[in-house]
C-alpha cells in the first residue's frame, strides 16, 4: 500500500484517524468526515502539515462523494454513527448514515472505478447467538438498529461485488480500543470510560453483573487488518479480533491494577441491546490475508493507559 490515492471516510474518528496516520506516510490520503462523532484534533497535525487533504462533508451527500472519488484507488469506509444506545434512541439517523451512507459510498466507488472498498462492519451483527466462537457463516441475529444498519451495509457490499464487479471486503470489528478513543461521549466505549474513570480515582461503572464477556481488539491490529485486506485479492466478510475473551468485570480489575489505583467497582442495570458473550474465530482472515493479532489484552491495555495518562 504505497503511492496510492486513498479516501478514508470517517477519518477524523477513532479508528479512521489511526488508519490515516499509518497510510499517510507513503500514500496520498483524503479524509471525508462531517465531524459529528469524529474530532479534527485527531488529524490536525496532518492537515496543518498538508500531509493529507480534509473534506468536511458527509457520506449522505452522494454528489460530494462522486466528485471526491475521482482517480481514487482505495476507499477505507469507516464513517458511521457508532453506538447501539444512540441507534435505539434515533434509529432513523443511524440508518441514514450507516446504511444509506454506505450505499452512496458504493455507488460513487462503482462509478469512479475504485479498485476496492474496505468496509468497517461490526461484530454486533451476530447478536446474542449462544454459539462461540462467532464464525462468518453463522446466521446474523442483530439486536439493535445499529446492528441492522451494519448488516444492511454488508449486504450492499456483497451485492455490489456480485452485480457490478466492485471488489469489497467487510471487516467485522470486535470491540476495538486504543489511543485516540473518545471517553467523553455519553456513548463512549467501555475501555476509555473505565480508564479515564480510574485515572481520576472514580469507580468504573459496569452495566449488569460484569460477567458478560467480550473479545477486545487493539487498534494497531485493526489498522494492520485494513491494510492487509486492501492489498489482498480477497473479498467477502471477515472477523477482526484479538481471538480471546475477558469478562467486563475482569477488564475493569485489569485496568485498576495497571493504573495502580485503588477504586471500587460500581454496578448499574443492564443496557438495552447489549449482548452477553462475544468471541471471534479469526481463522478466515488469517488464512486469506495473513491477519494475526499481535497484541494481548494486557499489552494493549498497558499501551492505551500510557496514552491516556499523557492526556490527563
pLDDT at 309 over 90: yes
Confidence of residue 299 (pLDDT cuts 50, 70, 90): very high
172-206 confidence digits (pLDDT tens): 999 999 999 998 876 678 999 999 999 999 999 99
Predicted local distance difference test score (pLDDT) of residue 231: 97
Predicted local distance difference test score (pLDDT) of residue 85: 87
119-144 confidence digits (pLDDT tens): 999 999 999 888 999 999 999 999 99
32-41 confidence digits (pLDDT tens): 999 999 999 9
221-239 confidence digits (pLDDT tens): 999 999 999 999 999 999 9
252-275 confidence digits (pLDDT tens): 999 999 999 889 999 999 987 778
Q: Which residues contact 303 (CB under 8 A, 6 or more apart)?
A: 178, 179, 218, 295
Domain 5-178+219-241+279-294 has CATH 3.40.50.720: yes
Predicted local distance difference test score (pLDDT) of residue 129: 84
Predicted local distance difference test score (pLDDT) of residue 130: 86
> Looking at 119, 126, 146, 308, which residue is catalytic?
146
pLDDT at 1 over 90: no
Indicate if 126 belongs to the active site: no
Predicted local distance difference test score (pLDDT) of residue 2: 94
Across 97-121, average pLDDT: 98
Mean pLDDT of the chain, nearest integer? 96
Across 293-303, average pLDDT: 97
Across 148-172, average pLDDT: 98
Across 160-173, average pLDDT: 98
Predicted local distance difference test score (pLDDT) of residue 128: 84
Predicted local distance difference test score (pLDDT) of residue 213: 95
Q: What is the percentage of the chain residues whose pLDDT exceeds 90?
A: 91
Domain boundaries, given as residue ranges, for the chain: 5-178+219-241+279-294
Confidence of residue 311 (pLDDT cuts 50, 70, 90): confident
Task: For the chain, give the DSSP string.
Answer: --S-EEEEETTTSHHHHHHHHHHTTTSEEEEEE--SSS-GGGTHHHHHTTSEEEEE--TT-HHHHHHHTTT--EEEE--S---HHHHHH-HHHHHIIIIIHHHHHHHHHHHTT-SEEEEEEEGGGGTT-S-SSB-TTSPP---SHHHHHHHHHHHHHHHHHHHH---EEEEEE-SEE-TT--SSSTT--HHHHHHHHHHTT-PPEEESSS--EE--EEHHHHHHHHHHHHHSS--EEEEES-S--EEHHHHHHHHHHHHT-----EEEPPPTT--SB--B--HHHHHHH-------HHHHHHHHHHHHHHH-
Predicted local distance difference test score (pLDDT) of residue 184: 84
pTM across the whole model: 0.95
Amino acid at each position: 500500500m504505497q503511492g496510492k490515492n486513498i479516501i478514508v471516510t470517517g477519518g477524523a474518528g477513532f479508528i479512521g484517524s489511526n488508519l490515516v496516520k499509518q497510510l499517510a506516510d507513503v500514500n496520498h490520503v483524503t479524509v471525508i468526515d462531517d465531524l459529528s462523532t469524529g474530532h479534527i484534533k485527531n488529524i490536525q497535525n496532518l492537515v496543518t502539515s498538508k500531509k493529507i487533504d480534509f473534506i468536511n462533508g458527509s457520506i449522505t451527500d452522494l454528489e460530494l462523494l462522486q466528485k471526491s472519488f475521482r482517480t481514487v484507488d482505495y476507499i477505507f469506509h469507516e464513517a458511521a454513527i457508532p453506538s447501539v444506545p444512540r441507534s435505539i434512541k434515533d434509529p432513523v439517523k443511524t440508518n441514514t448514515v450507516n446504511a444509506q451512507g454506505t450505499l452512496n459510498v458504493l455507488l460513487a466507488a462503482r462509478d469512479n472505478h475504485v479498485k476496492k472498498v474496505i468496509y468497517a462492519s461490526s461484530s454486533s451483527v451476530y447478536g446474542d447467538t449462544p454459539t462461540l466462537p462467532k464464525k462468518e457463516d453463522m446466521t446474523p441475529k442483530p439486536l439493535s438498529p445499529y446492528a441492522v444498519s451494519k448488516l444492511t451495509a454488508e449486504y450492499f457490499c456483497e451485492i455490489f461485488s456480485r452485480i457490478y464487479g466492485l471488489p469489497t471486503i467487510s471487516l467485522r470489528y470486535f470491540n476495538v480500543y486504543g489511543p485516540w478513543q473518545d471517553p467523553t461521549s455519553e456513548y463512549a466505549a467501555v475501555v476509555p470510560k473505565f480508564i479515564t474513570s480510574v485515572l481520576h480515582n472514580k469507580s468504573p461503572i459496569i452495566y449488569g453483573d460484569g460477567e458478560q464477556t467480550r473479545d477486545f481488539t487493539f487498534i494497531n491490529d485493526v489498522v494492520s487488518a485494513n491494510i492487509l485486506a486492501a492489498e489482498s485479492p480477497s473479498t467477502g466478510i471477515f472477523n477482526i479480533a484479538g481471538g480471546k475473551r475477558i469478562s467486563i468485570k475482569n477488564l475493569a480489575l485489569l485496568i485498576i491494577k495497571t493504573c495502580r489505583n485503588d477504586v471500587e467497582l460500581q454496578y448499574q442495570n443492564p443496557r438495552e441491546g447489549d449482548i452477553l458473550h462475544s468471541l471471534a474465530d479469526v481463522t478466515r482472515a488469517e488464512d486469506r490475508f495473513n491477519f494475526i493479532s499481535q497484541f494481548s489484552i494486557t499489552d494493549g491495555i498497558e499501551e492505551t493507559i500510557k496514552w491516556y495518562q499523557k492526556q490527563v
